[in-house]
Structure formats: C-alpha cells, structure tokens
Amino acid sequence: MPVPCRAGCGKNAMLKRPKTGDALCKECFFWAFETEIHFTITKGKLFKKGDSVAVAASGGKDSTVLAHVLKTLNERYNYGLNLMLLSIDEGITGYRDDSLETVKQNRDDYEMSLKILSYKELYGWTMDEIVAQIGRKNNCTFCGVFRRQALDRGAAMLNVKCIATGHNADDIAETVLMNVLRGDIARLKRCTAISTGSEGTIPRVKPLKYTYEKEIVMYAHYKRLVYFSTECVFAPNAYRGHARALLKDMEKIRPTCIMDIIYSGETMEVKEAVSLPSQRVCIRCNFVSSQEVCKACVLLEGLNKGLPKLGIGKSSKAKRMLEEYNAKQNKSLEEAINNINEEYEKNNCISKGKVCRSSCKSKQTAQINKTHKTTSETCCNGQSDEKLNTDNDITNSKVKVLLKEYGLSEATQDDSSNLISEKIDHSNTEKVANATNDDDFEVDSHNTDEQIVDEDDTCGGACGKIDSLHISF
Ligand code: SF4
Ligand code: ZN
C-alpha cells in the first residue's frame, strides 16, 4: 500500500530518509537535503557574499554532490559565491586518472573552472612511484600529507577565500571515534570544527558536516549525478577502516548514532592544558606547518634520500635513520678519499720532500689530506714546485669539497660558489634532523607503524564503499 509523503505534499513517498526515518517523495527529499546544508552553511557562517570558493573535487560522490548543491544553493539563496573546482592528481594509475575524467565532466556540467595540480609537478613523485619505493604500508601517510599541502598550494594559486571539502557526517563521526579510541585528545578537540585553519592559512569548511553518507548516495542516485565510485587501488586496511565498520554496525541498530557521536565530540570538554601545536611557516617550502620543517618536506627529503621511512612513525626512529644515513655518507667519504689517494699514488711520488709527478718507482703514499711539504727545488721530473703546488691544491680542493659536503670541515672562502649551495642544502638537512626530535614532531605514541594523518587529510579514495542502501522500504 502506498505511503503518503511525510512532508504533506500529497504525493506518495518513494524513500525512507536514513537520517530521520521519514517517508518522503523524491522532490521533498531533495528539498530537505539541500535545506539542511543551507542551514549548516548559514549557521556556521561558512561564506561571505562575493567570496571565491574552491571546491576540493575528487570526482567521488561527496565532492560531486557538494559541487552540485553549492551551485544550487548559490543560485537559490543568492550567496554571490564564485565557485571553482580544485583537484589533486596523486598519480595513481587506474584510479585518479579515471576519476579526473569525472571531475572534468563536473566542470562542464556545473560550469565551473577547474584547476588540477599533480604530485608529480609539485613534488617530483607520483603515488605510483612512491608506492614502488616504499611499498604499500604507509602510502596513505605520504598521500594525505602531500594532498593537504597540495590543496593549500592550489587554493593560494586560485586566490580563494576558502576551500570547501566533502567531509560528511560519517567521516566526522569516524574521526571522533578514532580519536577517542586512540586517546588523541588534542585532535578530538578540533576534529568536529566546521571550519578549520589558523591565521595566515586558507580555511577549510565542511558544508556536509551533518549530511549522512547514505543520503549523499541517495541524492546522487536520484539526481543522476555523474560520480566515480571505484576505490583507490592503494586503499589500505587502516585503523579508520575499523572505526568505519564499527560505526556502520552501530548505525544499523541506531541510525541517529552518527549525529550523536558528532554531538558528543562537539560538546566534550577538554582540559585547557591540552593544546594544539601552533602554526608557522615551513622554512623550506613556505607553506603552513606546525614545525620548522613541514611534514611534506620531511617525507620528500626521505624519498629523495632513499630513506622512505623518514617521517613515518616515531620521530626518534626518524632521527636514528638520519644518523645512520649520515654515517653511511661518511663511510662513502672515506672510500672516496681512499680512491683519490690511490689515484694520486699511481701518478705521483714524493721525492726529497717534494711532490713529483714522474713515474719513478720510489713512491710513497701521498697523504693528500695533510699539508704537503714543498721546497723551491725542482723535483725528479724537473717540474717546478709552483706547478706541483697547483696540482696539489686542485686535489686538495676536491677533498675539501667532499669534506664539506659531508660536514666534516669548515667551509673556507676559497671554495667555489657551488659549495655554498651544498652548504645550504646541508643546513636544511640538519633542520630536518632537528625537526625529528621527539619534542618537535607530532607522533602517534600509541601506534608506531601508522602515522596519524590529520582529519582533513582523510581520503575519499579509501571511502568508496558503503553498506547496501535502504533506498526503498
Ligand atoms: Fe591516497 Fe587515498 Fe589512495 Fe591512500 S587511499 S593512496 S590516501 S588516494
Ligand atoms: Zn615544507
């Protein structure tokens, strides 16, 4: 027997709203869905008239629905927003390349401009290359950290007032659960914020904060929106997955638990003593960071040095790795010096306290990293000391370069300008090393293998699958 629409429009209901249990017709569901998002936006004061807003677009259901609803509300309520799409291409073959095609379709459908930024152009690495280097255990840490910064960079390029992300109520409830289960009180304090970002950074807003994932899928389904639903090929079986499964189980018994968990997170009192790291600017890339060197730069340093685990897990581990790396570099310095010594020995001999380039048989090992004794006499090959001293200086300067490169001697003024760049690079390495001090780094003290990624870095890629929907009743 047909059930009348609960909104009283006179039509028959077609669906049961997962959030409220109301039986509604399609049109009344659309209206209720969009109006709730409008209330979220106005109550949270997410936008100001005339703002330029970048919608973080992955091609997935959340960002597609977000772009569609923002466009609809912008016209219906005259927000006066300049909406544009911002996509990050992580370089994941078989996933992001396909989903970007969907974003391009969104661009055409919603008549918004689209900016795509790739990890390859920003960092020199695609996720495919990173996974080939590091394996599939910590890939989402790299991906999440790089994405966060890539969005900031893209938003700065587009000169927008804020970035709107597609985080939905389920995502936020999961994050609350995860932070409770991990005892991460500092993150718990801020993970329910509808708008995040400190002074000097481009804020991120979450207009879908109170929107259920199931309703997002229903909306996209009934509106026939084009979105990409394949899961990322690198999606891990991470801790978030367990929180997700727990939430879905609880939702089956009590659908309001999603809102209840968010409400609990919002109203939970956290001691004043629990503080978040203050925001500053990374000395390397100039983007926002809680450390002197940002996490993206530390991870990139690790990749470029062949130390992919640098910045993963405990910072003391990272520090040890850098020390081991430096020790290895010193070992290769020793080998390099020995090689130069051998080469030098082949071509030179020391005669009467002077350096001689003849092939005489009375060779002694040349101690090239010590000052050679020379006189004004000619050597056995008849060459003058001046010439020999020049050769010696050249060789010594090679050694100096190596010594300085590995931080084993002080730079002198005679060094060529390329030494300066070496020195700068080295000082940065030290700063990275310093940034990995226990006190300086945000680490997960309960979980050494899995670096906690900020709640804003969570990925739609791992969230592609949801339970079967109860679209009808
Ligand atoms: Fe990146 Fe998400 Fe894929 Fe992880 S699941 S590799 S964070 S796109
Ligand atoms: Zn940086």
Asked if residue 140 has its Cβ within 6 Å of ligand 1, the reply is yes
Check: CB of residue 51 under 8 Å from CB of residue 44.
no
Question: What is the Cα–Cα distance from 30 to 26, expressed in whole angstroms?
Answer: 6
CA 178 to ligand 2 center in whole angstroms: 27
Ligand lying nearest the CA atom of residue 150: 2
Report which of 83, 86, 88 is spatially closest to residue 70, judged by C-alpha positions. Answer: 83
Mutate-to-test residue for ligand 1 from 125, 143, 450, 465, highest number of ligand atoms within 8 A of CB: 143
Q: Which atom of ligand 1 is nearest to the CA of 139?
A: 6
Beta carbons within 10 angstroms of residue 38's beta carbon: 17
The yes/no answer on whether domain 15-267 falls in CATH 3.30.1950.10 is no
Q: Whose CA is nearest to atom 7 of ligand 1?
A: 140
CA 440 to ligand 2 center in whole angstroms: 15
Question: What is the Cα–Cα distance from 47 to 50, expressed in whole angstroms?
Answer: 9
SS3 at position 187: helix
From the CA atom positions of the chain, what is the Rg in Å? Answer: 30
**pTM beyond 0.75, yes or no:** no
pLDDT recorded at residue 353:
42
Q: Which helix (H) or strand (E) holds 393?
A: helix 385-405
8-state DSSP, 4: B
Question: What is the Cα–Cα distance from 149 to 289, expressed in whole angstroms?
Answer: 9
Backbone angles phi, psi at 355, to 5 degrees: -90, 130
Mutate-to-test residue for ligand 1 from 139, 165, 312, highest number of ligand atoms within 8 A of CB: 139
Residues in the chain where the model's pLDDT stays below 70: 198-199, 237-238, 276, 311-473
**212-261 residue pLDDT tens:** 999 999 999 999 999 998 888 888 766 788 899 999 999 999 999 999 99
Question: What is the Cα–Cα distance from 310 to 174, expressed in whole angstroms?
Answer: 28
Q: Which residues in the chain are classed under CATH 3.40.50.620?
A: 15-267
What DSSP letter does each residue of 249-302 carry, written as one string?
A: HHHHH-TTHHHHHHHHHHH----TT--PPPPEE-TTT-SEESSSS-HHHHHHHH
Output the six-digit token pair for 432.
């990275």
Residues bordering ligand 2, an ion, CB closer than 5 Å: 282, 284-285, 294, 297
Check: CB of residue 116 under 8 Å from CB of residue 87.
yes
Report which of 95, 110, 242 is spatially closest to residue 178, judged by C-alpha positions. Answer: 242
Asked if residue 60 has its Cβ within 6 Å of ligand 1, the reply is no
8-state DSSP, 118: E
Asked if residue 459 has its Cβ within 6 Å of ligand 1, the reply is yes
CA 432 to ligand 1 center in whole angstroms: 25
Asked if residue 59 has its Cβ within 6 Å of ligand 1, the reply is no
CA 293 to ligand 2 center in whole angstroms: 5
